Structure 1
């Protein structure tokens, strides 16, 4: 009977140990597979100059010194230095590496900045980033592990295990328990020394051995064998729940640290924001004769989904935005003066972009404005399938107008134009930097009756004031839209045609904060957890976001709270230590700065979690930092708090 019971106990213990090991292995294996998906950032093929001509070769065959040609939609196959521009401009989306909200313009000239970070290296194309506009040639300067992305991946794979706070507590408890049990066992054995000679034991030595067995049995009974299994099971259940929310834990023990976190270092782009550029404000000229001169509209919606409502300045919803002359012409210009693509991906269940983020934001705005013919049945657009709805209004305008000629964007003009034809009517639509567009306008379209009137000095001044408010106080990225009626039959346009334009409107866009982030930030502050926003974006944009999500807690003076990486590195060691205790925002950083920040905070005995987002095509969350037990990777800041 006793032997059967012993076998049962042994089997249960072995089963628990096996389950414990299996859960740990499965969890960490999934995380390691996610790490390996960083390989997805590497391009499969490249257009390379070999033997005097360009040919398509596997990207793995690239070597330093190769000449590579890149164009719109290409994934950069290696770290490369620009040597020749084949278009008016080249823009690259490098948010995956730097966290910048919008694409970056590349140029041939090398930077003169000292201690240049990735954002300053405007003549370098980084492996894994995406070309969103233009065409150029570059020479390979780094491949594989010698690229910026490769160094990140290698750093992750070379992490060392660190004891988490819970593990330290369990070790301390285990040591204390072992000492107590050992003391009790010795005491039990000593107390029974007088019974060693009991005749029932058959001698002194047998009596001593008998009571030694009792002491050992007592020790075994006192050891909590089930504690590791219970802890592992609880952590595994928490990890599984987080995985459902697209959060991948680098290793199972890292979950232990959640309960005693004191500082959260959070990425901005994709974690605090949606990483989807959206138009949030529209400014048009209402009337120069009566009523307010300028009309402003707010646009809801924070993703690429064509779902949102347009409100006037009083907060009243516009039931039929397409009935307003300026808004419908903004919709036309947004759809026609555009080279991006918006589409629905049924596999991922979301809307995706191809091309420049700002152009996709304009396409989404055109969908939110709608079409005039649907005024009597505004809900009809919602009856379309998501695939059809993605660009229905854009396709409508593209079918109505035939594109005849395009004047591409150039850095000196800071604008682009497209000549369109419709029913023997030739119209040139233009979009670009507000200062470039407004300076070329002599007329303005009025929103109250659709009339075109001269652009007076007072109206121009009012538009410039609104632009300063959009770009300054609200840190929106602004574009101005305009049109011009051209002679019938004209087949080409030149830069000289881009004058005497008619101003349509001004749009302001941003990478919007996630709706749930502000409440999550408040929860952190209530719990005594300090949040440091870490981003590669510029300082003013990041400060504006931090004010919106409550990270600055209504502070007016940001001195000592907001630093760029270069500003922080220039501080003496003592001032750096003091700055870390008050820092709320850390901008213009690259991955090495994140490592430095977390290590410095750890030296101050802080328990740090780094929350990071990787904006990749597969839309999965991947870590790109170094601290095995102190990293949670997710796409949403609020997931960590909940």
Structure 2
């Protein structure tokens, strides 16, 4: 924040003087006051500088002793900007002649002179700022008696001023024409997105004429009652005003646009002047440059005067809203009404007065740098960088985390439904068990684990900030997603059981020859009634090769038990492969693999490699293969496994396409249901 304009009073009641101020750091050598009367610090400018320097709790100092040391501010940014500008005033007006003499220690001289007023006119009391009177005052003692110096909102000071100081120090009565000149200057500054502060003083302090800070003095009791401050700060002499520029960060307009795209409404609640706030809102993109905002910009007082129904209608408008000259109770009322209408409200703030609204909001967000401890304690989150765009980034990150959680659930549920479907189909069809318990345990604990974990590292969907926000009471699993789980799970079960049946009943499938191991083929009827094998006439089962061993049968009926080792291996391999491919489906809830290809999450590819590696380990290490009751597969058999497993991707791609096509209709239906419920 930096002072951009100084407006002082002229030599008559119809004129003001305006000075442009350049510079964006606290370095006193960085600032430059244009069209400045060098060496001429008239009485009016001197009084403005004095009030800005003394009625101020901030400090500007040099950090470090070397030449590279920079200047830092301690205190409120507004007051630090005023203090910095007063250093510029001194440089340009009083100490310019000392450059050649004291160049070796120029900063020390400037700093000393900047605080000369503080030493000569010592502060003995402070009238703290409050939202009602919108000003801060200090009582100082000097050789000419006690004085009151005040800075605050221009309108508020004018209401309590009776006189104005002119260029030569003379004091004239504040009439309507002079008031209009000052208000016109205020309007010009405010319309240029400047925050404007006015300066005033008072010499006649009968109650404090002999006050020296002693707590036993009768006037001290008045200082303990903030409600008396307005009367103390009355009959003031107005001296001038300053326009401060609080430039928005470069990334804020983009963040506002991201909010709009993401369905997040941004409302600005500020204590600033209405014209200033409107200009800033146009700068950052809350409002368009030439947009008519008469129906979307109110002062806090105007808003509170509306009926409850009108307030709700006002808050339910689409697009951004502005509340200027807002007080703490106004902020609370806005947050309360938004929550009552079902909105999820995030409130940002940094001051003590923001604490009640921060506490009331669903998510209170305090500023970590400029925020007070009270605001931080009342908040749920603290921004380490005080940057609004960080909030938008956090929303995107939160959506991504939520989506990744759903991806994990989606993958695990659809896979487990598939395993349940496999067992159910086996029992329903009456065929021999395709998977034994140790195999199912291996799939659940080892093979499924790495991909499920890796899904937590999914990058955000490309359109994650283009989707409307979900409601806080939305279910984690919608009916449509549950239907998808069931479809995928059903296919997993059918594929796992189907390949078991294919091996027993077909010599080839999809052009892939399965007869190379020499196993006997049976009909589906025989397979489904294998328990009656002992009653069949002339049933035989030929020996066949499984890996490096030959499987023989003393009893042909053993073909359906000991002989199913190859069929079980195929079923287990299909289950593992289909769940690996299903993990690719979980990369995005609705996004196609064409837009979010597998390599966007390298951790998932690594996890799939680990899972397949573990499966190959138990297949091709004889000791482990014996424990799990499986045998190595040939190339043709692996081709069959892949041919049966890959369609799970195609099925989910079709379901995702349907989901994308119907998402708009589901969203509209949800809105209509909500509206009906509210009515």
- TM-score, normalization by structure 1: 0.39
Choose between structure 1 and 2: higher helix proportion. Answer: 2
TM-score by length of 2: 0.37
